[in-house]
Chains A and B, each alone.
Chain A
Amino acid sequence: MEELSFNVDHGYLEGLVRGMKAGILTQADYQNLTQCDSLEDMKLHLQSTDYAKLLSSSEGDLTVSLVDSKLRDKLATEFSCLRSNALPPLSTFLDYMTYSYMIDNVVMLITGALKQRDVAELLPRCHPLGAFDQMAAVGIARTPTELYSAILVDTPLGQFFQDAVSESNLDEMEAEILRNKLYKAYLESFHSFCKGVGGATMETMCPVLEFEADRRAFIITVNSFGTDLSGADRSALYPSCGRLYPEGLSLLAKAEDHEQVKAVADCYAEYKILFEEPEPGKDFKTLEDRFFEQEVKLNTLAFLQQFHFGVFYSYIKLKEQEIRNIIWIAECVTQRQKSKIDHYIPIF
């Protein structure tokens, strides 16, 4: 019965997001972009899309990092337009979406503070979607424990610190371990929130979040080969809201090489396809690329249903993928290596 009352609070924003989704670059746009010879050409082609005059007001030289930051700022503006008009529970949902960027920002600021870097030079490198009020105050803390007890406990991330870490071992924890533990707590919290909302939101968001959890488990396992991260430590980092929980995760914790990971993936139909060797003659895609493709596929499904929150999450994720695609093409163009230029991931 979602459709009876959804539009009272969220109808306008859903219409707005669907309108913005229509501006996502299509195959024809990507064809035009791949045939460009320089960043100026790309700027010209992007002017005829939804990006309009975004890049033309840039002072100084057009570089790939400038393009990247401008695209990200545009996404952040669109998101804040949505967030400022949102009512609960959509506002809570949109806040949940920002927490993943906040985690990245906080971990970057903690590592910077530990190395005695100036906070002012780190702040512009933070992701705009993950900005929070107390970001500038992070520089005054000297240790992670101080940082947590003084600043982070008041931010929305405080709840994830409680689940993941105790104050005593915050100092010895490496930044990556901290990031993964926070992300695990965040993902599980988001998953149970979507389950609580129920209806079509649960149907579209829970598969996406479960895939995200399983993808994190696979990536953590694969990246830990050759490091001194033991199986038991690894299993504390695996999010438990995915399809792999609990048997797959326990098998992954014991895996020692790529073959064993592949054996675990073979038990699950969708992941078996992702780990398969490609047919001879086709391009080789890295595991990361295949995960991105699967993520895009799951996110496009959100637009098939109406009256749910999944469209907001999927729109932001697809826009991020589009930014990654544009930057990939821009890098290939500027470095004049057009052989791999078609390795972007088409969305619609």
Chain B
Amino acid sequence: MLLEWMMNGHAILYTGVTLAFWSTILVVGLCYTIFDLGFRFDVGWFLTETSPFMWANLGIGLSISLSVVGAAWGIYITGSSIIGGGVKAPRIKTKNLVSIIFCEAVAIYGIIMAIVISNMAENFSATTPVAIGSKNYQAGYSMFGAGLTVGFSNLFCGICVGIVGSGAALADAQNASLFVKILIVEIFGSAIGLFGVIVAILQTSKVKMGD
């Protein structure tokens, strides 16, 4: 069976690319080790030479974009089920918009956090790592971390609310009394997005950029 799978065109491509990638890494790593050039692989240099602004803006970008991906994912999962179920049971159309609103809330968390984080970025005049100081580096990393936190938690929250909302729409179409009960599951699902926002706020609470 492995041989059959190997004969598939896609499989050959993927195995080839993966093999090339890992062998490059292996060969490069071996060469660096053998020729005593290991000092060139310098994580400390990377972290001090990259500007804190890069981390801050990556955090802002991730927070809004991942939240929007989560919200969009949830909305299309729920929306298609509402449309399908609404053909034979038109009464579900208005009530089930609540599920869409829960998904949308996830995107709103993302944009609020993006605005909050971006307001913390201030200018500083130093250029060397020593002069920039630890406070600025800490600010950069905190903003990146907060962006990751809120982005990923909203991504999975949006997907969760979307899948539950789809089930709620189809169950509502069969039996109207089920909707409120499944809505409670959705409320718990959307709470996890809120957790991400709370943790992100805490992460950025001590951020102080500047000279």
Interface residues of A (CB under 8 A from B): 3-4, 7-8, 11-20, 22-23, 306
Give bound CA distance, A13 to B85, whole Å.
Answer: 9
B29 at the interface (CB under 8 A from A): no
A8: which B residues are within 8 A, CB to CB?
76, 80
Q: Which of B73, B86, B159, B163 contacts A15 (CB 8 A)?
A: B86
Q: Are A15 and B76 in contact (CB under 8 A)?
A: no
Give bound CA distance, A22 to B83, whole Å.
Answer: 16
Q: Mark B159-186, 1 if CB is under 8 A from A, else 0.
A: 1000100110110011000000000000
Main secondary structure of the interface of B (DSSP, over half): helix
Q: Are A16 and B173 in contact (CB under 8 A)?
A: no
Known: A7-B166, A22-B174. A14 touches B81 (CB 8 A): yes
Q: Are A14 and B159 in contact (CB under 8 A)?
A: no
Q: Are B81 and A15 in contact (CB under 8 A)?
A: yes
B126 at the interface (CB under 8 A from A): no
Nearest-neighbour CB distance to chain A for B10, whole angstroms, equals 15
> Considering residues B79, B84, B166, B170, which has the most beta carbons from chain A within 10 angstroms of its beta carbon?
B84
Q: Are A18 and B87 in contact (CB under 8 A)?
A: no
Nearest-neighbour CB distance to chain A for B65, whole angstroms, equals 18
B77 at the interface (CB under 8 A from A): yes
Q: Are A18 and B173 in contact (CB under 8 A)?
A: yes
B88 at the interface (CB under 8 A from A): yes
Q: Which of A3, A4, A18, A23 contacts B85 (CB 8 A)?
A: A18
Q: Are A22 and B173 in contact (CB under 8 A)?
A: yes
Q: Are A15 and B84 in contact (CB under 8 A)?
A: yes
Give bound CA distance, A348 to B167, whole Å.
Answer: 20
Give bound CA distance, A23 to B79, whole Å.
Answer: 22
A3: which B residues are within 8 A, CB to CB?
77, 163
Closest 6 A/B residue pairs (Cβ) = A15-B84, A19-B88, A11-B80, A15-B85, A12-B84, A7-B80
* 10 A/B residue pairs, CB under 8 Å, sorted by A: A4-B159, A7-B77, A7-B166, A11-B81, A12-B83, A14-B81, A18-B170, A19-B87, A19-B88, A20-B88
B88: which A residues are within 8 A, CB to CB?
16, 19-20, 22-23
Q: Are B173 and A14 in contact (CB under 8 A)?
A: no
Give bound CA distance, A18 to B174, whole Å.
Answer: 8
Residue of B nearest to A306 (CB): B167
Nearest-neighbour CB distance to chain A for B194, whole angstroms, equals 22
Q: Which of A4, A13, A22, A23 contacts B84 (CB 8 A)?
A: A13
Known: A15-B81, A22-B88. A306 touches B76 (CB 8 A): no
B143: which A residues are within 8 A, CB to CB?
none
A17: which B residues are within 8 A, CB to CB?
84
Q: Are B87 and A16 in contact (CB under 8 A)?
A: yes
Nearest-neighbour CB distance to chain B for A347, whole angstroms, equals 14
Give bound CA distance, A12 to B81, whole Å.
Answer: 6
Q: A16-B85, A16-B87 are in contact. List 6 more A-B contacts (CB 8 A).
A: A12-B83, A15-B82, A15-B83, A15-B169, A15-B170, A18-B84
B167: which A residues are within 8 A, CB to CB?
306
Q: Are B174 and A15 in contact (CB under 8 A)?
A: no
Q: Are A12 and B80 in contact (CB under 8 A)?
A: yes
Residue of B nearest to A20 (CB): B88
Known: A11-B80, A22-B89. A306 touches B159 (CB 8 A): no
Nearest-neighbour CB distance to chain B for A48, whole angstroms, equals 16
A20: which B residues are within 8 A, CB to CB?
88
B170: which A residues are within 8 A, CB to CB?
14-15, 18, 306
Q: Mark B95-113, 1 if CB is under 8 A from A, else 0.
A: 0000000000000000000
A19: which B residues are within 8 A, CB to CB?
84-85, 87-89, 173
Nearest-neighbour CB distance to chain A for B50, whole angstroms, equals 34
> Considering residues A11, A17, A306, which has the most beta carbons from chain B within 10 angstroms of its beta carbon?
A11
Give bound CA distance, A13 to B83, whole Å.
Answer: 9
Give bound CA distance, A8 to B80, whole Å.
Answer: 8
Give bound CA distance, A11 to B81, whole Å.
Answer: 5
Residue of A nearest to B86 (CB): A15
Give bound CA distance, A291 to B159, whole Å.
Answer: 41
